[in-house]
Chain A
Amino acid sequence: MIGILNKLLNRSRRGEDGSIVVDSARKATGGKTRTRVVMTMAVFLSIYVAITGRLVWFGFQGPTDSGPPPSRVTASRPDIVDRNGEVLATDIKTSSLFAEPRHIVDADEAIEKLATVLPEIDYEQTYKKLKSGAGFVWLQRQLTPKQQSEIMQLGIPGIGFRTEKRRFYPAGETASYIVGLTNIDNQGISGMEKYIDDQGLADLQLSGLAVAKDLKPVKLSIDLRVQHIVRNEVAEAMQRYHAIAAGGVVFNVKTGEVVAMASVPDFDPNNPYNAQDKDRLNRMSAGLYEMGSTFKSFTTAMALDSGKVTLESKFDASRPITIGRQTIRDFHGKGRVLSVPEVFIYSSNIGSAKEADVVGIEGHREFLHRLGLLEKMKTELPEVAKPTEPRVWKKVHSITAAFGHGISTTPLQTAVGCAALMNGGFLIEPTFLARTADQAMEAAKRVVSEKTVEGMRYLYTLNAEKGSGKNARVPGYRVGGKTGTAEKVINGRYSKDVRFNAFVAAFPMDDPQYIVLTIIDEPKPEMPGRGATAGSNAAPMVANIIRRAAPMLGVKPDFGQENAATLVSY
């Protein structure tokens, strides 16, 4: 364009400098060509300027508020399934219907058509919405794909869909603490959901590579049926005994798999409005308790394992032990010399304290660490509490720890420790992912000898036959176990009425496969006049769980060995 202008100017200059110019051609057209060209250019230029100006003006203008809000980027997550492939958590696509009232041609017709698919639609309200002249309104959230396709078939102008991925937990509260939760951006914030994110899914999602199809389902060690039974029994027990909380775990002693673990009160992961409440805590792995007499299992095992004590050894439990300001008494005092099995089945605090004394303070501490009872548990679940112990162990600590006071640990760890006393002496890290016995044994380490295990199996069986664990017996399944009735600390003192009860059981006792541990926090007697010790609440919980779950766990009932404990030659 500039070149043409120059040419035009050159021509006119040449005419003015006095040289001979043949003017006739220009004259012939009346000398108007130049002006015409310039005028045309001006017109086009002005059009383009107007267009550019308008564009710039649009550029500065904010977008008009129509159309749906920007879509949330919800990342895909793998399904979580139980050991049998039952779905525990899955992504489902839901679509929500919106309308742009400005583009609606005929509101009445639109509503009438919509009502054929959505009969529950509110005519008046929808009509108001569609006539409001707003850029965008939601009409119905979370439609099924069928409804969506039917609405699409109606062909109504001015409406559209927005699909959203939503995490759905078919099992509801049954496995809520194990499966965990995701936040609104589909990121795991607790339980196994968080574990999955920490395993690299979060990075995968960030890089945009988390495609739903490529994500394999995560298989947990949980058996949904057993999980339901445990959750059901635990929830019923909490009501029956008017407790503030209860929990239970079923632990495979051979593979270290947690087959079921429940803690109440819990929450519904599909509507977790109360998940952050103070009492919503996975007490089995994140609750610290003084486990009480269940710890006598460890004291006895330690004494037997040291080699200084055999099942025939006797301890004088006739008089209370006084150390400093504290006096150690027996709850069911016999006031005589007791043998090791008697110390165990009568749950003698004095006897246990003397057993611990044989091993010594350092030995005691080392043994509890060896069983992993005072270490922070290593497992997939992020909600794990670190056990507490006295900074410096003195004699009084060893004595109280002998019957499970003065140190606190998590119930799950106690179950894992007991598993080591039952499975042949191997400490296996608990896992929530499916695992075989061989894989478990690779990482397992021996903590107690075979002989100790034999002795402990005998004591557990005996305690269920004759001792405090009678209520945990289930015909055919050879249950053995140990009760624990711990007094809770209220205002710095041990209370006589506020208790924390636990029962740890193993079955079948001829070759233990599973540990079942139940806890119940601050239980009251079922009926006035009845006791509220572990034998009367935690033990029946175990019995109910085993009775219902054992067939599913593949344990064969056997009625031939009902009196095995008395047959063992001791």
Chain B
Amino acid sequence: MFRTSDIILIAVMVSAAAMTYKIKRDAEVQQAAVYKIQAQIRTEEDQIDLLKADWSLLTQPARLQRLTELYKDQLGLQNADARQIVRLEELPEKPPLTIEDIMAESGGEGIDKEKTASIAKDKAGADKSKAAGKAKATEKRPVAAAAKPKSTAKDKVASNTKVAVVDKIAEKIEDGADE
């Protein structure tokens, strides 16, 4: 009995020592990691400061002016005139868009141009117009004729952007094709 308790105590002691050692060791590892991260943060911060200074150096109005003067001819740059500055409400209202205008100015590749713009805005819509574009390319005349009466009814929505209008037309064209 005396020996068992001894052994137990020794075991406890050894395991306690082992545990302490392990904890201490882990703490040291963690500490080292913390130091490393702190050093990293410091260098990052310094780098940010430096990049900020670099950025403001590169965007100096004086530098930009030099560059614009240098590339004036190549890029066709001109000084802005006071007459070019207008408020939003001063813009003249856009004349209502009719299907004839779009047909006149687009053709096949016109639709394509709109399509790339609409991809950014609305993927689904873009896909539709793509399908429509194909349909249109194959049978141009009849589809246009089918779409025409419907679109005049919708002329009230002329304030919509061209892209949206094109999408709508595309939908209709699709409908027409199905019929």
Q: Which residues of A contact B (CB under 8 A)?
A: 86-87, 90-93, 144-146, 149, 168, 170-172, 174, 224-225, 228-229, 231-232, 474-477, 547-548, 550-551, 556-557, 559
Give the nearest-CB partner of B80 in chain A.
Answer: A551
Chain B 114-147 per-residue mask, 1 if CB under 8 angstroms from chain A, else 0: 0000000000000000000000000000000000
**Residues 46-65 of B contacting A (Cβ, < 8 Å):** 46-47, 49-50, 52-53, 56-57, 59-62, 65
The yes or no answer to B94 lying at the interface (CB within 8 A) is no
Give the nearest-CB partner of B47 in chain A.
Answer: A145
Given the interface pairs A93-B46, A476-B83, A547-B82, the reply to whether A174 lies near B53 with Cβ below 8 Å is no
Chain B 65-99 per-residue mask, 1 if CB under 8 angstroms from chain A, else 0: 10000000000000110110101000000000000
The yes or no answer to B43 lying at the interface (CB within 8 A) is yes
Nearest CB on B from A186, distance (A): 15
Given the interface pairs A174-B60, A225-B61, A232-B62, the reply to whether A557 lies near B52 with Cβ below 8 Å is no
Give the nearest-CB partner of B87 in chain A.
Answer: A556
Partner of B43, one of A86, A92, A145, A168: A145
A170 with B65: CB separation less than 8 A: no
Chain B 138-168 per-residue mask, 1 if CB under 8 angstroms from chain A, else 0: 0000000000000000000000000000000
B82 with A474: CB separation less than 8 A: yes
A232 with B82: CB separation less than 8 A: no
Q: How far is the CA of A548 from the CA of B57 in the complex (A)?
A: 21
Partner of A144, one of B50, B79, B85, B87: B50
A87 with B52: CB separation less than 8 A: yes
Interface of B is mostly: helix
Q: Which residues of B contact A (CB under 8 A)?
A: 43, 46-47, 49-50, 52-53, 56-57, 59-62, 65, 79-80, 82-83, 85, 87
Nearest CB on A from B120, distance (A): 29
B61 with A145: CB separation less than 8 A: no
Cβ-closest 9 pairs across A and B = A228-B61, A476-B82, A557-B82, A170-B56, A87-B56, A170-B57, A93-B46, A225-B61, A145-B47
Q: How far is the CA of A93 from the CA of B53 in the complex (A)?
A: 11
Residues of B within 8 A of A149 (CB): 43
Residues of A within 8 A of B85 (CB): 551, 556-557
Task: Identify which of B46, B52, B82 gathers the most chain A CB atoms within 10 Å of its CB.
Answer: B82
Give the nearest-CB partner of A146 in chain B.
Answer: B47
B53 with A557: CB separation less than 8 A: no
Nearest CB on B from A463, distance (A): 21
Q: How far is the CA of A477 from the CA of B83 in the complex (A)?
A: 10
A92 with B50: CB separation less than 8 A: yes
Residues of A within 8 A of B61 (CB): 174, 224-225, 228-229
Residues of A within 8 A of B57 (CB): 170
Nearest CB on B from A243, distance (A): 21
Residues of B within 8 A of A550 (CB): 82
B60 with A145: CB separation less than 8 A: no
Residues of A within 8 A of B65 (CB): 228, 232
Residues of A within 8 A of B80 (CB): 551
Give the nearest-CB partner of A174 in chain B.
Answer: B62
30 contacts between A and B (CB under 8 A): A86-B56, A86-B59, A87-B52, A87-B53, A87-B56, A90-B49, A90-B52, A90-B53, A92-B49, A92-B50, A92-B53, A93-B46, A144-B50, A145-B47, A168-B53, A170-B56, A170-B57, A171-B56, A174-B60, A228-B60, A228-B61, A228-B65, A474-B82, A475-B83, A476-B83, A477-B82, A551-B82, A551-B85, A556-B85, A556-B87
